[in-house]
Structure 1
Amino acid sequence: MSEAKQMLFARNVICICIEKKESGDYIGLLWHQYSDDSIEFNGVSDMLMLMDDLYDEWDFPQRSLEKREFNKTRDHEEMNGDPDNLVIDKVQAASGVKNVQNKRGSLGTFFVQVKFRQNATWQGTVIHEESNKKFDFTSAMGLVEIIDKSMSSN
């Protein structure tokens, strides 16, 4: 009996394609379903920041903690937006949805769904494409550890 292929279907799935490893750090591309273009990252910390920026842009999943700003005041209307009209719905309507399930990195491929951004970190699920294994993580550091262990076992 063949093993069923693990897949994630969510509004915020990001495909991490690892292209090379330099000085113990990973370099590669991020793909998401709202763009035909990839986003290059140069190291794990860059990757995490870029992903967090996308989640902020989409406002999905929403942060449980707001970034502290001292010089800027937020518009009251922006803070109390309509909960029925999500930003990610507008992004999806404007750009359509592309397939990221066919993207592959030369060293490794990971499909990440962050379900929550609570306690100043991420919680979610990741699938390592090459091993077809699905893992849950409770922090961004946990995600990095899963990626690193999976890459080491390749």
Structure 2
Amino acid sequence: MEKTQWYLGAPNSVVLCVDRIGAGQPEGRFYHAYAREGTSFSNMEEAIFQLERFYDSLNFPHPTTDSRTFINRGGHTESRKERTRIMRDDELLGRHGDLGTFIIRVQHRQNSSWQGRITWMDRNRTLYFRSIWEMIKLVASALDTVSEQEDAALEQSWQDE
């Protein structure tokens, strides 16, 4: 398979690796160029919050709305430090999940959501998403496709015997 869709293209690109489905939720880790080890997550909500913190630490893409909270932080703003790339693109693209691997490129953070592109590396297919919710649904539909194929393969093996 030709890997024409496998590129990062931005300093905030991440490789999302899904290893298993636990309690109905994808579990795995994601990688970015600024750390060798992956950041683990046990559900998509946790992954989204961790990715949002990562984007905030880079201040890229810059959000068009401020984060809202019930807790008054007294105007405290987190200082942004310059990050140094530790992993090369080819190292990042070499990371893979057991169930699925996705390259996430968030291009904008507008209307308190994300807009960008997601590449399903296993199928070399890229789609644009207009919100975090749409991105989550794209990941879920890819994982559903994988589980349907596994179910079909299991059914075929039972029929063969």
TM-score normalised by the chain length of structure 2: 0.80
Q: CA RMSD in A?
A: 1.9
Runs of at least 5 residues in structure 1 that lack an aligned partner in the other structure: 79-86
Residue 67 of structure 1: how far off its partner (Å): 1.8
Once residues 112 and 136 of structure 2 are traced to their aligned partners in structure 1, the CA distance between those partners, rounded to angstroms, is: 16
Runs of at least 5 residues in structure 2 that lack an aligned partner in the other structure: 147-161
User: 4+ runs of 1 displaced by more than 2 Å?
Assistant: 2-5, 68-71, 95-99
Aligned pair 1:63/2:63, yes or no?
A: yes
Greater displacement, 63-72 / 144-153: 63-72
1:72 to 74, 77, 94: 74
Query: Counterparts of 1:114-153 in structure 2 under 5 Å?
Result: 114-153=106-145
**What does the per-residue CA deviation read over 1:2-41, in whole Å, with 9 as the maximum and x for residues that have no partner?**
6452123211111110010012100001100111011100
Paired residues, number? 140
Q: Which has the larger radius of gyration?
A: 2
Residue 57 of structure 1: how far off its partner (Å): 0.8
Query: Counterparts of 1:12-31 in structure 2 under 5 Å?
Result: 12-31=12-31
Task: Specify the alignment match of 1:35 in structure 2.
Answer: 35
Residue 97 of structure 1: how far off its partner (Å): 4.1
Once the two structures are aligned, what percentage of the paired residues are identical?
22
TM-score normalised by the chain length of structure 1: 0.83
2:16/2:103 contact within 8 Å kept: yes
Once residues 123 and 75 of structure 2 are traced to their aligned partners in structure 1, the CA distance between those partners, rounded to angstroms, is: 47
